[in-house]
Structure formats: structure tokens, C-alpha cells
Amino acid sequence: MPSADPLAALPAELVLRILDFASISTVTSLTQTSRSWNHFIEKSHLDRIYAHPSKTCHPSGSRDLDFVKGLRHFTDYWDEIGSWKELCKRQTLLRKNWQARVPETRESIIQVEETHVWRFRPDFKRRYFVSSSETGGIHVTCMDTGQKLWSTPARQYAHLEYDIDNGVAVWDTLSNALEVWKAKPNKRGHFELVATIRHDQEVRTRGYELRFQTLCVVSDQGRGFVYDMMTEPPSRKREMIIAKGAVGHLFQSEDLVMYSMGYDGVHVHDKVTGGLVGIINPQRSQKVYHINHVKFGLHWSAADEIAPHPDARPQRPSQNRIWSLPVELGENPNYDTALEDEEWGAVAVDGDFMAVTSRFGRLFVCKDWRRLLKGKQEDYDATCTLIECEADPNNFQIGGWLSLYKGKVAIEVDDAIYLLSFEALGSDCPTNVWRITSSLSPRLQEPVSYMAICDDSFMHTYLTNCEHRNDNFGDILGSLPTKVIRVLALAPDLSTEGMGRTGTV
């Protein structure tokens, strides 16, 4: 009688092909059925099975684990991975925590001297933060110890852009110029001035963005600029004529640059020719969802503590004050601002995925933004969704607090952060929404001025109480409200000793 065991009846390549479609739990169960299955999976074909895209996420064409070094990681969760199976295990555990209603997190607070952090950029390759300050100055702080590495004078509230691949930082001056600084190769965290970019006297810089070794600059007087950052000094590749009234938010792909025009949506221009490629109008989206606060049991305003609604029982938040909120189909019944009256602000893209925020707490997402450049309504219907939060129009202002990375979007509305996860980029609505506090207490309120979503963590500016000292005598002056960098690490603990790089520094 022929054997019913596939290992005996089928060629190995066919069995491997079948396992490509099997879940991780199925593969694990098979290793426990017999010695032959255990040997086939764990010994003979371990990497072949777990390196398949159905088991692990990795760049197309990756033949080894070197790509792990390039992940955006704050913890040492990705260190010492010796096999594709181990990578699969860690990715699975981390994904489950990102998808959890109440995730397990660990908080790290990085105080940058005694200043209020304005913008910051993490450099995961060199393991430090580059930040600007509300009171002036650029600071470089070790990501692992909190130690000051370097600082230099700069204007108050300087906007900061950073290219991690080349260690290049750009910030603006009071004279409307842009300074370009480059990391010294032989002195970690130290920078040197390599160029100053000046515009015509009548051009007022509203915003700029550094990506793909290209610096894009926008003016509200109807002019845009594209600079090649690989030349020394940076050379102007294109000056383009754009619509007037740019609000200052822009974002670029490899070939296009997008300017936020407030009430007029997002204008998309070609970086080479400067020509207008298309206009994306978020208000044309027909699918609308809203985040329901009251039904979940939370009533929130910037002036009040979070309190339970009398008709509902709130879910227990995480230890770092993260609440999971439901998303429901239809418009928010509490909105009194019509969609056609919206003013659109920050814009971001990640591959085919696009997100745009509005003044009144609406979030526009698109899973294939290039289709919208044709201007056809059917493309909006097929790819776009509007998600409404709760916002006080008298309090909320358009800001730069938008982050988009691998199907996750973070925005700030009324001094609270909403982190939305789209489990599949093709889905219409988020599979999970977290509400994250942006300060230690509602009594300490200051807008978030930067956020970043990473592979193993989420980081943002955070207002809390920190000790301040007398510089001359070293005496503690007291605990004062200070805007710091807060990191919520979501990497699961793989040992009893902890992750090693989390904790207050």
C-alpha cells in the first residue's frame, strides 16, 4: 500500500512549493509530526522555507540577512540573527505587537541638554539623534546613552532635514538661507559646514525636504527649487513656477515633488522639467470612515484629563497610555466643517501609499497615488479613503506632524497622536488605531513638532518634567516642563535581561 506521507510520495521541490503556501504555525506543527519532517524542515531546507516572502519580509532579491542592518531600529532586537527562521520568529512577534489592541511597549526619554526639542532626525546607522531647539542650536545626542556628542549655534525653531545615507543635515537661518552640514567621517556626531544656499531677496522660503540626494525648496510666491546635493557645493537643477499660496509642506518621490496648496489640495510637479503633472484633491474621496471616541468610552479635550464616558466602559490602556479606538464607516456626526472647506497640510508618500492631513483632523490616504494624477473620479473611488478624527478648529493648526512608513500613518490632532495601521496596503480602512498621549499630563500641552515610525518603535517629541541644573555649581534647580524625545519600543523582550537599549537615558 503506497505511503500517504507527502515526503515519500512527492519530489522535494514539490513539497517545498506546497510549504510556500503553508502558514508558519503549520510548518511548526509539521516539524513535530515525525523525524523525517523535522529533518526535512529544520536541517535540509531551513533557509529555503523561511526565506520565502510568505514567511519573512525582506527586499526583493535578498540572498542573505545583510539587509537587516539597514532597518530603522532603536533597540537591539535585530542583532545576532543567524538564520531566516530566527528572522521569521522575530518579525512575527513584532508584527503581533504592532497589531495588538493594547501593545506591550517600553518607554525611553532622551533629554537633549536643557532645551526644548523642536525637530529631530534619528540616524540609525551612526546611532545618534540630530535635533534643533525652540530656543536655538543644533544638537547631536547618542541614541543609546543620551550623551551629548556635539552642538552648534542655530536659529530658534530651525527646521531640520537629514540624509542618513550621506550624513548630510540642512537647516535654515534668520537670513532666509539654508546651511548644508556634513558629518565628519573621523569624529562621530561632529559636523562641518560645507555650503550655504541663498535665494533671491524676494523669495521667502516656506519649506524644504531632503530625500534621494535631492533638496526641494518651496516659496509661497509661486516658485520652487530643486538642488543636486551630490555636487559640492549643491547645484540648482531646476527652478519651477508653481501656484502661489503654498503652505510650506512638500514631499518628493524619485521623479516628482508635491506641494501642499491648502484649500487647493496637492500640486505635483516633475523634478526634471518643472511642469505640473497633476493635482490631487483629497475632497474628491467618496469613502469616509471616522474614529469613534465616545462609543469606545473616552471623552477628550486638550484642557481635560481623559475621563470615561458615562455610557461606556473604556478598555485598559497600555502602561504608556496608549488606547485602541474603533473605526466606523461613515462621517463623524460631530463635525461641523464641510469637506469642501478643508485646508490640507502635511503630505507624505511611501512607495505607492500616500497620506495628507487637514486642519480639521481629517486624514486622506491613497493606496496608489500615481493613478490620481490622471484626474479621473473612478481612480479616487478605487484607491482613496478619508478618515475623520475629532478636532477643535480653534485649537488645531496645520503642522509638520505626519509620519508614514510601511503601511502605518501617524498624525497629531488636538495635542494627541493617532497611529493608524493598514495591515494590507490595499485595504480601505485601518485595521488598528492607537491614540497616544503627546505629553505627561493634559496640563502640559505643546504641539508635537516631529514624529517617526520605525521598524521596532515609534518616536515623537514629548512634553514632560525634567530636572534642570545650575551650570556653574551643578545644583539641581528643580523639575521643569521640558520637550524631549520619547521613544516607545515595541520590540518584544527575547530574554529576561531585556532588550538592552531601552530605558530612560
What's the pLDDT at 64?
78
- Compute the average pLDDT of residues 312-326: 67
Residue 431, C-beta contacts closer than 8 angstroms, at least 6 positions apart: 99, 421, 422, 423, 424
CA 168/CA 193 separation, integer angstroms = 10
> Is the model's pLDDT at 393 over the cut of 60?
no
CA 367/CA 194 separation, integer angstroms = 39
Q: Record the cell numbers describing residue 362, joined without a space.
A: 481629517
Q: How many CB atoms lie within 10 A of CB 58?
A: 18
CA 206/CA 219 separation, integer angstroms = 5
Residue 398, C-beta contacts closer than 8 angstroms, at least 6 positions apart: 247, 249, 343, 345, 346, 357, 358, 359
What's the pLDDT at 428?
74
Q: Which residue, among 133, 82, 78, 80, has the nearest Cα to 111 in the 3D structure?
A: 133
Residue 351, C-beta contacts closer than 8 angstroms, at least 6 positions apart: 425
What's the pLDDT at 279?
97
Phi, psi of 88 (to 5 degrees): -60, -45
pLDDT in tens, 368-384: 999 999 999 999 999 99
- Compute the average pLDDT of residues 86-104: 90
% of residues, the chain, pLDDT over 90: 50
> Is the model's pLDDT at 298 over the cut of 50?
no
pLDDT-based confidence at 306, cuts 50/70/90? very low
pLDDT-based confidence at 437, cuts 50/70/90? confident
Kind and range of the H or E element at 98?
helix 84-99
pLDDT-based confidence at 425, cuts 50/70/90? low
pLDDT in tens, 447-464: 889 999 999 999 999 998
> Is the model's pLDDT at 1 over the cut of 60?
no
What's the pLDDT at 70?
81
pLDDT in tens, 122-176: 999 999 999 999 999 999 999 999 999 999 999 999 999 999 999 999 999 988 8
- Confirm if 106 and 503 have CB atoms less than 8 A apart: yes
Domain ranges for the chain: 6-98, 281-444
pLDDT-based confidence at 391, cuts 50/70/90? low
What's the pLDDT at 317?
63
Pairwise pLDDT comparison (102 vs 381), residue with the higher score: 381
What's the pLDDT at 139?
97
Q: Which residue's C-alpha cell is 502602561?
A: 319
Q: pTM for the full model?
A: 0.87
- Confirm if 420 and 363 have CB atoms less than 8 A apart: yes
Q: Which residue, among 77, 160, 70, has the nearest Cα to 124 in the 3D structure?
A: 70
Torsion of the alpha carbons at 446, 448, 449 and 454, rounded to the nearest 10: 160
- Compute the average pLDDT of residues 226-249: 92
Single-letter residue type at 455: D
- Confirm if 218 and 251 have CB atoms less than 8 A apart: no
**What are the distances in angstroms from CA 173 to CA 182, 198, 223?**
17, 10, 19
- Compute the average pLDDT of residues 188-201: 91
> Is the model's pLDDT at 89 over the cut of 80?
yes
Average pLDDT over all residues of the chain: 84
- Confirm if 434 and 467 have CB atoms less than 8 A apart: no
pLDDT-based confidence at 319, cuts 50/70/90? low
**What are the distances in angstroms from CA 232 to CA 33, 117, 212, 272?**
63, 30, 16, 20
What's the pLDDT at 395?
57
CA 346/CA 223 separation, integer angstroms = 18
What's the pLDDT at 234?
93
% of residues, the chain, pLDDT over 70: 86
What's the pLDDT at 336?
74
